[in-house]
Amino acid sequence: MITVDKENKPVSFQGRKAVDVFRIRVLISSLGLLAAGISPTRGLSKKRALVLTTEYTGKVYKRTEIEKAIGDLKKIEWNRLNHIKIKQGEGL
Q: For the segment 32-90, what is each residue's pLDDT rounded down to a tens digit?
A: 999 999 999 988 999 999 999 999 999 999 989 999 999 999 999 999 888 888 888 76
User: Where are the chain's structural domains?
Assistant: 2-88
How confident is residue 91, by pLDDT bands cut at 50, 70 and 90?
low
List phi, psi (to 5°) of 71: -60, -40
Instruction: Please tell me which residue, 91 or 10, carries the higher pLDDT value.
Output: 10
Mean pLDDT (whole number) for 5-9: 82
Contacts 24+ apart (CB under 8 A), 11-17: 11/89, 11/92, 12/89, 17/80, 17/83, 17/84
Q: Which of 69, 77, 71, 25 shows the shortest CA–CA distance to 46?
A: 69
Please state, in angstroms and rounded to a whole number, the distance separating the CA atoms of residues 58 and 28.
16
Name residues whose C-beta falls within 8 Å of residue 39's C-beta, 6 or more positions apart in sequence.
33, 45
Please state, in angstroms and rounded to a whole number, the distance separating the CA atoms of residues 67 and 69.
5
Q: What is the pTM of this model?
A: 0.84
What's the confidence (pLDDT) of residue 12? 85
